[in-house]
Amino acid sequence: MHCDIYKFPKHDEMYVYIARPNYPDDIETLTDWLGVLPKELRASLGQGKFVMHLDLDATEKLARVNKEDVLAKLSEQGYYVQTPPKDILLRQAENRAKDLQDKRYD
């Protein structure tokens, strides 16, 4: 299974894997690969930036996620969302809370 990986500047350390089941036959076709995402999710992510193309069959393991989980979601729904580790999520929430508090008193 081939996939493309995107990151989103609004969300540190969040990556979205998009299935490319017809690769390399789909190279000539201009396609909005992120169109498989639900509208609400896509809107909340903002503008995606392409990171890399990956052949999961040729990859033994992935850095932060289970390869089998990724393959299952890609087959089932066409995408997989890799969320940041808990420590990064906590830091992001603390930073957002601090920013909101700082703006409140400006």
Mean pLDDT, the chain cut into blocks of 10 residues (106 residues total): 89 87 70 83 87 90 88 93 78 77 67
* Core vs surface per residue 41-50: b (16+ CB within 10 A) or e: ebeebeebee
Q: What is the pLDDT of residue 74?
A: 93
Q: What is the pLDDT of residue 90?
A: 77
Domains of the chain with CATH codes? 2-104 (3.10.510.20)
- For 60, counting Cβ atoms within 10 Å of its Cβ (0-12 exposed, 13-18 middle, 19+ buried), the class is exposed
Q: What is the pLDDT of residue 91?
A: 77
Cα separation, 19 vs 2, whole angstroms: 6
Cα separation, 89 vs 106, whole angstroms: 26
Query: Is there a contact between 54 and 5 (Cβ–Cβ < 8 Å)?
Result: yes
